[in-house]
Structures are given as C-alpha cells and as structure tokens.
Structure 1
C-alpha cells in the first residue's frame, strides 16, 4: 500500500480526506479493462491509454482505499492531481524498470 498526502484536504460526504492510500494489489484485470472503457467514455482518444492522464485518474479512483469517484480525482488541485496520476504511472511502468534492473545486474556478473 502506498500513501500520498494531499496539499489540500478533500471533503467527501462530511469526511475530510487529507491523504490517499493506493492499494494496487487489489486491482483485477477486469478493473483495468473497466478503467479503459471509462476513460474512452470520458472522451480519451489516446492510442495507448497507459500514458493517458484520464485513464490514470480513472484507475486511481479504483485503486484508492478512500471512497472516491473519478470526478473527485479530476477535481483535485493540479499538484495533487499530478501526484495521483504519477503514482498510477509508476505502478503501470514499474515492472519495466524492475526488468531493466534485473537485466543490467545479470549483465554485470
């Protein structure tokens, strides 16, 4: 689980949320496909959705433990929105870095 502090708390249903807890391990393939569909419905025309801020925001709403929806993510102040989408991007592309490190470490031996 990864925790990110917000620069400005969100008020959701009378609860103040000052940080977001990301649980990417709970995501399923179905949720990722669903996030792709939702991003398309929001008008995203990216050829590769992994690079799309819209897709990353939708996926964040699914991965965050707090009860947020995509509109809550889209309404975040820009600095918080970028932290959220970059956190998702790091999740999406983290396996690439891990594989590169393993390959480089194998070549050095």
Structure 2
C-alpha cells in the first residue's frame, strides 16, 4: 500500500482526509477497463490510457482505501495531484520493466 500525505486535506461529509492510501492489490483488469471507459466518457482521447492523467486519477480513486471519487482527486492541489498520478504511473509502468530490472 502506498500512503500519500496530502498538503491540503480533502473535506468530505464533514471529515478531513489528510492522506490517501492507494492499495493497488485490489485493482483488477475489470477495474482498469472500467477506469479507461470512464476516462473516455469524460472526453479523454489519449491514445494509450495509461498515459492519461484523467485515467490515472480515476484509477487512484478506485485504488484508494478512503471513500473518494475521481472529482476528489481532480480537485487536489497541483502538487498532491502530481504525486498521486505519479504513484499510479509507477504502478502501471513497473509492469513493463523486465523482471531483472524490477528486482534492483
């Protein structure tokens, strides 16, 4: 699980979320496909969804242990948004590395 401390908390239902815990173990192929479909419905036209910040934000919301939606992720400060989407990007693209590179 990846924990990202937010510089500006998310206010949700009278509660403040100060960190997001991204659990990529709960991400399945079905969730990845659903995230891509959602990104397309939001108007994203990036040829490969893995490079899309919209797709990455949706996947972050799906991976979060906290009850957040994509609009919560999109509403983060720029620095928090980049940190979250970079974490998702690392999850997506570490799969593409050769096994020997992953072990380093």
Is TM > 0.5 for Structure 1 vs Structure 2? yes
What displacement does 1:98 show? 5.1
| Equivalent-residue separation in structure 2 for 1:74 and 1:102 (angstroms) | 30
SS at structure 1 position matched to 2:95: helix
The number of residue pairs the alignment matches comes to 104
- 1:40 counterpart = 2:36: no
Deviation at 1:102, TM superposition (A): 6.1
Of the two structures, which has the highest relative contact order with CA contacts closer than 8 Å and spacing of 6 or more? 2
Extract unaligned runs of 5+ from structure 1: none
Equivalent position of 1:86 in the other structure: 86
RMSD: 1.7
1:97 is aligned to 2:89: no
TM-score (norm 1): 0.89
Whether the 8 Å contact between 2:10 and 2:18 is mirrored in structure 1 is yes
Q: For residues 33-86 of structure 1, give each alpha carbon's deviation from its aligned partner in whole angstroms, at most 9, with x where no partner exists.
A: 000000000100010010000000010000001000011011111100001100
Structure 1 segments of 4+ aligned residues over 3 angstroms from their partners: none
If each structure's helix is expressed as a fraction of its own residues, which one has the higher value? 1
Unpaired runs of at least 5, structure 2: none
